[in-house]
Amino acid sequence: MSTQEATAPPPGGGGAAPRRSAVWTQLWFWVVIGIAAGVVVGLVTPDFASDLKFLPDIFIQLIKMITAPVIFCTVIVGIASIGSLATAGGIAVRALAYFLLMTLVALGLGLIVVNIVKPGAGFPPIPPDPETLAEAQADVASGSEGGGALEFIENTLLPDSFFGPFVENEILRVLVLAILVAAATSMLAPALRKRVVGGIELIAKVIFGMIRLIMFLAPVAAFGGIAYTVGALGGESLGNLLALMVTFWGTCLIFVVVVLGAVSAISGFNVFKLIRMIKDEILIIVGTSSSETVLPRLLAKLESAGASRSTVSMVLPTGYSFNLDGTCIYLTMAALFIAQAGGQDLPWGVQLGLVALMLLTSKGAAGVSGAGLVTLAASLQAFGGEFYTTESIAIGIAIIAGIDRIMSEGRALTNVIGNTVATMVVAGWCGERDDERFQAVLDDPSLVRDAIEQETHRGDDEDEDTSTDRTPATAGAH
């Protein structure tokens, strides 16, 4: 039985309404408490708060530990359950087309806004401290290792061993492996395919149980992350960088409300209701500045909300590398901010060339805190020329590094909202979305609040279930 079937209301709409849990038993409540406590500690004892970064770091590390296995299992089950590689390929092609369009829109929006506001114009020279400059130079060196499309395919996309991507936690390579295994599984005889998929589902159930245990640490991670941010940065250290932060956050808001709002409306749902549905995950991101921390939860929640397992397992993990709307906005705004702060006025032709380059480099950004800074360095290093020398890139990165954590939260939030919208839009586009279920969940998000718990507490009678052999026509309905 799929998660959406496990949580679906009784046929015909009858039966008692779901019992609402007390507010203090819900994850988001304790995450809010952790965030509030972190702000207080950061303001009262900034020195102590500056040492609490290890709390979100530990949480992110634990999530990263199980992210690759979750993606591997869910992608295999999702594709193999379809039983038709042509149908799976159709979903993938439509998803990639959507990702390309949204990437262009995000890059273009960031470019337009930063040219109108010009947050870096008249920026006074700020000599960065040696430690920060050294870290920036390291980011530039790391970024210079990137290359063109062939290097991206060889060094980022294709695995060089079966277990290597799991050891190194290379999500794109894990995704490629999972697709290959799923394709091979799909070609097996139906009875054998069912046995293989059933075994992988059992492994996935154990992994989701691990997720439930790890998520108990989310309020602690949110406390440590916010306390560190407030204690380390404070208010005075932001200075003239406030214009860049406000411009970036405002642009992300415009993208979510206007662009994603319009896309959602065309697809038949309200983006604000969708955001309310994932408020738990949004609060976790606020505390950890990482979208990777909520990927396993979103996989279960979106399936429970009415999208077919095949669509969720393909679109959402792929979007984490190919549909980073917030990162795209950040890249164009930060790149032009560095040029403006250095007194450079880039011609439009040069700016469009930079956007074309970032169309590629943005696809390599991971979903963890700080990845955007390295991707920015990689983009500017690859672009080079008279406008971005190695020294100017290092100094520019060092200046932005002071507020990167605050920017990282905006990137992560926009990325997750964008990928959530993308999953439900592509599901509707492909006929893989149960709209009746989806609208019920949007009106009452409590229907999917326990999606992961449902995933890990299914009855043993599922051994007789035939859902692993669902046809595409029934994959999204019940």
Domain assignments of the chain as residue spans, ordered by start = 84-165+241-457
Distance CA(71)–CA(235), nearest Å, equals 39
**Average pLDDT score over residue span 50-65:** 80
**Average pLDDT score over residue span 286-301:** 82
Phi, psi of 346 (to 5 degrees): -75, 130
Consecutive H or E run containing 220: helix 218-233
**Average pLDDT score over residue span 322-347:** 84
Signed CA dihedral, 205, 211, 216, 219: sign only: negative
Q: Model confidence over 387-426: pLDDT tens digits?
A: 776 677 777 776 676 567 678 788 889 999 999 999 999 9
Mean pLDDT of the chain: 76
Phi, psi of 209 (to 5 degrees): -65, -40
CA distances from 10 to 14, 82, 243 (A): 6, 25, 52
Distance CA(5)–CA(303), nearest Å, equals 9
Say whether pLDDT at 281 is over 60.
yes
Min mean pLDDT across 168-182, 209-223, 461-475 is at 461-475
Min mean pLDDT across 42-51, 125-134, 221-230 is at 125-134
Say whether pLDDT at 287 is over 90.
no
Which of 277, 324, 297, 296 shows the shortest CA–CA distance to 418?
Answer: 324
Dump the DSSP string for 405-453: HHHHHHHHHHHHHHHHHHHHHHHHHTT-B-HHHHHHHHH-GGGSTTHHH
Distance CA(397)–CA(394), nearest Å, equals 5
CA atoms within 13 A on the CB side of 437: 27
pTM attached to this predicted model:
0.67
**Average pLDDT score over residue span 167-171:** 75
**Average pLDDT score over residue span 169-178:** 77
Say whether pLDDT at 132 is over 80.
no
Query: Which among 34-43, 167-176, 249-258 has the top mean pLDDT?
Result: 249-258
Query: Higher model confidence: residue 84 or residue 12?
Result: 84
Say whether pLDDT at 175 is over 90.
no
Q: Model confidence over 45-57: pLDDT tens digits?
A: 888 888 887 888 7
Say whether pLDDT at 276 is over 50.
yes
Distance CA(435)–CA(269), nearest Å, equals 9
CATH code, residues 84-165+241-457 = 1.10.3860.10
Say whether pLDDT at 59 is over 60.
yes
Say whether pLDDT at 261 is over 90.
yes
Say whether pLDDT at 369 is over 70.
no
Distance CA(368)–CA(295), nearest Å, equals 11
Signed CA dihedral, 21, 22, 24, 28: sign only: positive
